[in-house]
């Protein structure tokens, strides 16, 4: 048992085993493909192999006559409403789950076949004959923005889903007086690659729809199903089974999630669809694909007085909800990092092209913004003639600077920005020295750093136009003193059950084993917006803290009556209410629960039977829309970290090997160090993939990486020895003092690795990822010349 800063016992900070792991590791988990219902049939989709075309017709006759086929539908036969466009600040897309008039990317669903099993459905799908009239392809952002560009949505008049132009007057004044240093920074197209793909099962029984889906946000799915299917939310139940990884990609709502329920209602029998990996790489949302043009007005000492520039993202066809422009806004909010940069004016363009829609992916714009500012700082250091680390020291926030509002509007209340940076530098320089002793002085060895802040528990209103940031918890005692807690966050492998159980046990001073957690079912869980943006521990914790306070007050009143003592004389510790100074006079939660639920005649006057509480928590201080000055505090809190990466570059092959890695991190109070380390290790592994390997190239609208043969993921050999250190003290502005850490590992990796490659080669301008061997060989030639 740990002790808190006040010396009292606490469960927080203890490295305990995750309560869900036994079930997951022994094959007793139930993933979406494990959902099998009596009479269930299977669906397969016919997808466009043309990137841009007009749909003239779909011939389904031959497929419908195949043995075992129950139905074949084209878009014209599906009477679903268009997915609502609820964001007035972006162009309306009006996309429908099954294409009717036009396809805008390879992988767009054209028709669906339902058969006795997936094999029969796939065979029949090959006989569906779509009549597509090819249209000019918009293959790149440059093509999309050309004056004579073909238009994906002719009613718009251009190919901009989103365009934001800030007021630059104050920033322009700084640029008129000071030196300018500029760069273009690009993170190319990637995709999340969860171990489990997407999938949906639906059943319509007794005038009620039940949908099992691999999602991060069950209640949001329910709300969107209601809008598109035309059913009241009360007649829809959404269940999230075990989810084998989400990473933001499963926080989108896909055409299949509307179509499979529609089929179940139409056919009056359960229907299932399970994504294969080829479908995943062409139809599940892509990510990143962002170019940031960034300029700094630089003082004589190299520090930055102002930033201006543009974040431009290739959104693919834009046919997804929530729309894929959200990461661009987060990139804008990330550019100042933990630095004292007084002003910024950053434009945003979300451009549509004939590619798979872009959506959320772990980091959600944070890696892009951090990559740009850290690369620019290194460029400034080179041009001004200042050591790259010394320049950061001149700008980084000190404790006395807090609270601090960044130029983008983020309110930083707590953090260890300078301490994390200095500790990471110590680790990085030591790792570099140790590796140099192993490989010799001639090897191309380098170390790079990235320091940043990460917004956690952000509002979702700016990308959904509907939901904001709240979450709920129902905490209920049983008569034996056990507790059931129902929460609105969801699990996808990140240890959410353990986190929630630990917080409940901490708040009520009971063992974790006495807590049962319910989540991922809209009929039994408390309303919530799911797990994304590193929000789970914070918002669930806030609701749990409030519900527990209600229970503690009621429990104290009942215990005081049983002990014939004054409530103010009681303290709760170790699951027992005891009279202060008299340890022998005490009653347990079990005894209190018996009185509240069974022996109700023992309750004090005015206290009703029952021992349960529901609470809702919405983080304070959030801006759900931009303020009049354009600034926005879009997150409930901000973690900080610095990454250090040591790399070895092979000059002949261009291969970059990450030898050592360190993360010094501050997420406030740590709930479980093992879970936190797992989150950061996994995030760094994904960051290494994005920095060195993962890329989804296109040619004339055709995807060139449609299997894992072409889309390269890091394996165990590519993930190095890693040091993770936590600096944080309890964050005073947050429930339980916690902030969140789900995306911390991935945000700094691209910038730190690029900086290390630049350091190894002795060049500037390592401004694009992934740093594939061909890219690195070009840099080596530049260094040699």
Residue 276 burial (CB count, 10 A)? 11
Residue 205 clears pLDDT 70, i.e. is over it? yes
Instruction: Tell whether 211 and 70 lie within a shared domain.
Output: yes
Instruction: Tell whether 230 and 366 lie within a shared domain.
Output: no
pLDDT number for residue 315: 98
Determine, yes or no, domain membership for 370: yes
- Average pLDDT (669-698) is 97
- Average pLDDT (694-723) is 96
pLDDT number for residue 741: 92
Q: Is the dihedral of CA 65, 71, 77, 83 positive or negative?
A: negative
- Specify whether the CB–CB gap between 112 and 72 falls below 8 A: yes
Choose among 113, 99, 108: nearest CA to 60: 113
Beta-bridge partner residues of 205: 208
Residue 7 clears pLDDT 70, i.e. is over it? no
**For the chain, give me the number of helices (H) and strands (E)?**
20, 33
pTM, 2 dp: 0.96
- Specify whether the CB–CB gap between 137 and 73 falls below 8 A: no
Angle at 690 between CA 686 and CA 695, to 5 degrees: 130
- Average pLDDT (473-501) is 97
pLDDT number for residue 582: 86
Beta-bridge partner residues of 303: none
Encoded tokens for 68: 């075992």
Instruction: Tell whether 582 and 647 lie within a shared domain.
Output: no
pLDDT number for residue 342: 97
What is the distance between the alpha carbons of residues 666 and 687, in angstroms, rounded to a whole number? 19
Range scoring the smallest mean pLDDT among 247-251, 313-317, 580-584, 747-751: 580-584
Q: Where do the H-state alpha helices sit in 529-631?
A: 536-563, 589-597
Instruction: Tell whether 678 and 734 lie within a shared domain.
Output: yes
Residue 617's region, left for phi above 0, alpha for psi from -120 to 50, else beta, is beta
18-21, long-range: CB within 8 Å, 24+ apart, which pairs?
18/495, 18/497, 18/498, 18/672, 18/674, 18/675, 19/497, 19/498, 19/501, 19/512, 20/491, 20/495, 20/497, 20/498
What is the distance between the alpha carbons of residues 336 and 399, in angstroms, rounded to a whole number? 17
Per DSSP, 164 falls in state E
**CA torsion, ordered 40, 45, 46, 49, to nearest 10 deg:** -160
- According to DSSP, the β-strands at 271-274 and 129-134 are unpaired
Give whole-number Cα distances, 144 to 223, 289, 648, 701, in Å: 33, 14, 39, 12
- Specify whether the CB–CB gap between 95 and 111 falls below 8 A: no
Instruction: Tell whether 451 and 518 lie within a shared domain.
Output: no
Choose among 349, 346, 297: nearest CA to 318: 349
Please enumerate in sequence order all residues whose Cβ is within 8 A of that of 33, keeping only pairs 6 or more positions apart, or say none: 196, 199, 274
Instruction: Tell whether 110 and 205 lie within a shared domain.
Output: yes
pLDDT number for residue 87: 87
Q: What percent of the chain has pLDDT over 90?
A: 95
Residue ending a domain, choose from 283, 303, 323: 283
At 618-628, the pLDDT tens digits run 999 999 999 99
Residue 2 clears pLDDT 70, i.e. is over it? no
Residue 784 clears pLDDT 90, i.e. is over it? no
Determine, yes or no, domain membership for 251: yes
The domain that contains 608 carries what CATH number?
3.30.365.10
Please provide the DSSP assignment of 115-141 as one string: ESSHHHHHHHHTT-EEEEEE-----SH
pLDDT number for residue 358: 98
385-388, long-range: CB within 8 Å, 24+ apart, which pairs?
386/301, 386/302, 388/449, 388/755
Please enumerate in sequence order all residues whose Cβ is within 8 A of that of 748, keeping only pairs 6 or more positions apart, or say none: 367, 370, 450, 451, 452, 641, 642, 643, 663, 687
Q: Is the dihedral of CA 130, 134, 139, 143 positive or negative?
A: negative
Determine, yes or no, domain membership for 21: no
* CA atoms within a 13 Å half-sphere pointing along the CA-CB vector of 17: 8
- Return the SS3 of 562: helix
Instruction: Tell whether 487 and 567 lie within a shared domain.
Output: yes
Instruction: Tell whether 745 and 678 lie within a shared domain.
Output: yes
What is the distance between the alpha carbons of residues 328 and 164, in angstroms, rounded to a whole number? 11
Per DSSP, 338 falls in state T
At 641-662, the pLDDT tens digits run 999 999 999 999 999 999 999 9
**Helices 218-229 and 255-267, axial angle in degrees (round to 10):** 60
Distance of CA 645 to the CA centre of its chain: 23
Domain count, the chain: 3
**What are the φ and ψ backbone dihedral angles of 634, each rounded to 5 degrees?**
-90, -5
Per DSSP, 216 falls in state S
Query: pLDDT tier at 189 (50, 70, 90 boundaries)?
Result: very high
**What are the φ and ψ backbone dihedral angles of 124, each rounded to 5 degrees?**
-70, -35
**What are the φ and ψ backbone dihedral angles of 333, each rounded to 5 degrees?**
-70, -15
pLDDT number for residue 3: 59
Instruction: Tell whether 435 and 480 lie within a shared domain.
Output: no
- Average pLDDT (112-124) is 98
Q: Where do the H-state alpha helices sit in 354-405?
A: 366-384, 388-395
Determine, yes or no, domain membership for 27: no
pLDDT number for residue 783: 84
Give whole-number Cα distances, 727 to 13, 417, 642, in Å: 12, 10, 11
Determine, yes or no, domain membership for 171: no
Choose among 573, 583, 665, 675: nearest CA to 10: 573
- Average pLDDT (559-572) is 96
Residue 782 clears pLDDT 90, i.e. is over it? no
Angle at 369 between CA 364 and CA 371, to 5 degrees: 110
Instruction: Tell whether 541 and 525 lie within a shared domain.
Output: yes
At 23-74, the pLDDT tens digits run 999 999 999 999 999 999 999 999 999 999 999 999 999 999 999 999 999 9
Name the helix (H) or strand (E) containing 3. strand 2-3
Residue 530 clears pLDDT 80, i.e. is over it? yes
Residue ending a domain, choose from 283, 303, 319: 283
Residue ending a domain, choose from 262, 283, 304: 283
Determine, yes or no, domain membership for 177: no
What is the distance between the alpha carbons of residues 23 and 136, in angstroms, rounded to a whole number? 51
Determine, yes or no, domain membership for 87: yes
Give whole-number Cα distances, 320 to 68, 89, 96, 217, 252, in Å: 32, 16, 10, 15, 7
Instruction: Tell whether 83 and 227 lie within a shared domain.
Output: yes
What is the distance between the alpha carbons of residues 183 and 768, in angstroms, rounded to a whole number? 11
At 230-239, the pLDDT tens digits run 999 999 999 9
Query: pLDDT tier at 91 (50, 70, 90 boundaries)?
Result: very high
Q: Is the dihedral of CA 209, 210, 214, 219 positive or negative?
A: positive
What is the distance between the alpha carbons of residues 277 and 269, in angstroms, rounded to a whole number? 26
Determine, yes or no, domain membership for 6: no
What range does the domain containing 574 cover?
470-617
Instruction: Tell whether 429 and 539 lie within a shared domain.
Output: no
What is the distance between the alpha carbons of residues 248 and 615, in angstroms, rounded to a whole number? 26
Mean pLDDT of the residues in the chain: 96
Beta-bridge partner residues of 538: none
- Return the SS3 of 607: coil
pLDDT number for residue 583: 79
What is the distance between the alpha carbons of residues 207 and 235, in angstroms, rounded to a whole number? 7
List the strands of the sheet with 53-59, edge to edge: 102-103, 53-59, 129-134
- Specify whether the CB–CB gap between 455 and 753 falls below 8 A: no
Residue 354 clears pLDDT 70, i.e. is over it? yes
At 441-456, the pLDDT tens digits run 889 999 999 999 999 9
Query: pLDDT tier at 316 (50, 70, 90 boundaries)?
Result: very high
The domain that contains 244 carries what CATH number?
3.90.1170.50
pLDDT number for residue 9: 82
- According to DSSP, the β-strands at 160-164 and 721-726 are unpaired
What is the distance between the alpha carbons of residues 93 and 667, in angstroms, rounded to a whole number? 38
Encoded tokens for 147: 């004056």
**What are the φ and ψ backbone dihedral angles of 256, each rounded to 5 degrees?**
-65, -30
Three-state secondary structure string covering 460-523: CHHHHCCCCCCEEEEEEECCCCCEEEEECCCCCCCCHHHHHHHHHHHHHCCCHHHEEEECCECC
Query: pLDDT tier at 728 (50, 70, 90 boundaries)?
Result: confident
- Average pLDDT (205-210) is 97
Query: pLDDT tier at 1 (50, 70, 90 boundaries)?
Result: low
């Amino acid at each position: 048992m740990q002790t808190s800063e006040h010396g009292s016992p606490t469960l927080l900070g203890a490295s305990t085993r995750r309560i869900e792991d036994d079930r997951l590791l022994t094959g007793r988990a139930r993933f979406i493909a494990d959902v099998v219902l009596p009479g269930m049939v299977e669906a397969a989709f016919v997808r466009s192999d043309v990137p841009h075309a007009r749909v003239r017709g779909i011939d389904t006759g031959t497929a419908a006559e195949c043995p075992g086929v129950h139905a074949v539908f084209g878009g014209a036969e599906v009477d679903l409403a268009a997915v609502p466009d609820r964001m007035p600040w972006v162009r309306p897309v009006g996309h429908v789950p099954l294409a009717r008039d036009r396809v805008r990317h390879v992988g767009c669903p054209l028709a669906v076949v339902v058969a006795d099993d997936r094999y029969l459905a796939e065979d029949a799908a090959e006989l569906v004959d779509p009549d597509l009239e090819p249209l000019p392809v918009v293959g790149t952002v440059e093509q999309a923005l050309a004056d004579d560009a073909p238009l994906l949505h002719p009613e718009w008049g251009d190919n901009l889903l989103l365009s934001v132009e800030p007021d630059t007057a104050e920033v322009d004044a700084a640029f008129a007086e000071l030196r300018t240093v500029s760069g273009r920074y690009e993170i190319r197209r990637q995709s999340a690659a969860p171990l489990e793909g997407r999938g949906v099962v639906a059943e319509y029984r007794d005038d009620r729809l039940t949908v099992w889906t691999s999602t991060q946000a069950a209640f949001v799915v329910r709300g969107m199903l209601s809008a598109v299917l035309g059913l009241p939310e009360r007649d829809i139940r959404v269940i999230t089974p075990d989810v084998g990884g989400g990473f933001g990609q499963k926080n989108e709502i896909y055409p299949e999630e509307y179509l499979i329920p529609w089929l179940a209602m139409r056919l009056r029998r359960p229907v299932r669809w399970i994504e294969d990996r080829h479908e995943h790489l062409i139809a599940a949302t892509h990510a990143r694909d962002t170019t940031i043009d960034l300029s700094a007005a630089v003082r004589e000492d190299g520090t930055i007085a102002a930033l201006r520039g543009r974040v431009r993202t290739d959104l693919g066809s834009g046919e997804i909800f929530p729309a894929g422009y959200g990461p661009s806004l987060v990139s804008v909010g990330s550019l100042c990092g933990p630095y004292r940069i007084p002003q910024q004016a950053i434009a945003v363009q979300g451009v549509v092209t004939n590619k798979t829609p872009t959506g959320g992916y772990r980091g959600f714009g944070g890696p892009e913004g951090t990559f740009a500012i850290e690369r620019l700082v290194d460029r400034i250091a080179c041009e001004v003639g200042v050591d790259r680390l010394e320049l950061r020291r001149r700008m980084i926030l000190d404790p006395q600077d807090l609270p601090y509002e960044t130029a983008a509007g983020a309110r930083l209340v707590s953090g260890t920005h300078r301490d994390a940076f200095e500790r990471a530098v110590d680790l990085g320089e030591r790792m570099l020295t140790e590796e140099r002793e192993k490989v010799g002085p001639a090897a191309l060895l380098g170390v790079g750093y990235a320091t940043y802040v990460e917004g956690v528990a952000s509002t979702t209103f700016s990308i959904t136009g509907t939901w904001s940031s709240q979450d709920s918890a129902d905490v209920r005692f049983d008569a034996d003193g056990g507790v059931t807690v129902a929460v609105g966050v969801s699990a996808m492998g990140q240890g959410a059950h353990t986190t929630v159980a630990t917080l409940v046990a901490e708040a009520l001073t009971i063992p974790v084993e006495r807590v049962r957690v319910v989540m991922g079912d809209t009929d039994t869980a408390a309303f919530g917006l799911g797990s994304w943006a590193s929000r789970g521990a914070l918002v669930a914790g806030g609701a749990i803290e409030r519900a527990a306070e209600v229970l503690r007050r009621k429990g104290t009143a009942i215990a005081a009556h049983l002990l014939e003592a004054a409530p103010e004389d009681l303290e709760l510790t170790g699951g027992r209410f005891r009279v202060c100074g008299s340890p022998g006079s005490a009653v347990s939660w079990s005894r209190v629960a018996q009185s509240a639920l069974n022996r109700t005649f023992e309750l004090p006057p005015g206290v009703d039977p029952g021992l349960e509480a529901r609470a809702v928590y919405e983080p304070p201080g959030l801006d759900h829309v931009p303020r009049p000055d354009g600034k926005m505090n879009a997150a409930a809190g901000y973690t900080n970290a610095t990454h250090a990466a040591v790399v070895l570059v092979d000059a002949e092959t261009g291969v970059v090997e990450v030898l050592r890695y360190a993360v010094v991190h501050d997420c406030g109070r740590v709930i479980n160090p093992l879970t936190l380390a797992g989150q950061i290790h996994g995030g760094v592994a994904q960051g290494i993939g994005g920095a060195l390997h993962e890329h989804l190239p296109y040619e004339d609208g055709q995807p060139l990486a449609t299997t894992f043969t072409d889309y390269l993921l890091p394996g165990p050999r590519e993930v190095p020895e890693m040091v993770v250190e936590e600096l944080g003290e309890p964050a005073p502005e947050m429930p339980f003092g916690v902030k969140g850490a789900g995306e911390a590992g991935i945000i700094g990796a691209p910038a730190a690795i690029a900086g290390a490659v630049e350091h190894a080669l002795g060049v500037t301008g390592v401004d694009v990822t992934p740093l594939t061997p061909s890219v690195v060989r070009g840099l080596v030639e530049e260094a040699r010349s």
